[in-house]
Amino acid sequence: MKQHAPATERNREAIRDVLARELPPEGTVLEIAAGTGEHAVYFARAFPGVTWQPSDPDPAARASIAAHAAEAGLSNLAAPLELDVLVEPWPIERAGAIVCINMIHISPWEATLALFAGAARLLPEDGLLYTYGPYRFDGVTAPSNIEFEKWLHAKDPRFGVRDLRDLGEAAAKVGLVLRGMVAMPANNHSLLFRRAP
């Protein structure tokens, strides 16, 4: 039932350090595409003032999240929601912040557009949409990301390492502004979008 992702242990501390500076001190943090649930447990424990709301469209992932959550026994970790960014309406109406780790490159471009649109609906003014993963910068990315993208394209040609310029333009169309970027381990980056007034 419980699933494990080795990357989680490698990146969670670096992500936590960024989130510690950016998350609101209280309220609901919606995690999109929460996967195994290991991040959800770690961040709920790291940020006890917020309610961490994991979600995932995959039943096996939600079962894993629930199993990890049951073992952790954290009162601020909510039961996982069935949420596919492409399916409206989302099963939640408001969130103080949204966290999306390693989804943008392993989903069709339409999923990223839906993520931005959903974040624009749910977030308050200046609310955070945090995304993490590999990105291109004016077409350029690390050699390891290029090799990774070849693997992604073989898996599904709709997947790929997205360009920051395209992400910024798409976000701006729905009222999200890229307010920060943080270099992370293994040629990944944290992107910090905020909902404009």
Place of tokens 């471009």: 109
The CATH superfamily holding the domain 6-195 is Vaccinia Virus protein VP39 (3.40.50.150)
| pLDDT score, position 7 | 78
Residue 120, SS3? helix
Domain range summary for the chain, segments of one domain joined by +: 6-195
Q: What pLDDT does 6 receive?
A: 81
Q: What is the CA radius of gyration of the chain?
A: 16
State the pLDDT at residue 56.
98
- Residue 85 CA from chain centroid, whole number: 11
Walk along the chain (197 residues) and give the pLDDT tens digit of each residue.
Answer: 889 888 787 899 999 999 999 999 999 999 999 999 999 999 999 999 999 999 999 999 999 999 999 999 999 999 999 999 999 999 999 999 999 999 999 999 999 999 999 999 999 999 999 999 999 999 999 999 999 999 999 999 999 999 999 999 999 999 999 999 999 999 999 999 999 98
pLDDT value of position 94 = 97
Structure tokens at 168: 């910024």
pLDDT at position 27: 98
Q: Which residue, 170, 172, 146, 173, is CA-closest to 160?
A: 146
Q: Please check whether residue 103 is in contact with residue 37, taking contact to mean a CB–CB distance below 8 angstroms.
A: no
Judge whether 59 and 34 are in contact, CB under 8 Å: no
Residue 9: predicted pLDDT: 78
pLDDT of residue 148: 92
Alpha carbons 159 and 97: distance in angstroms, whole number: 25
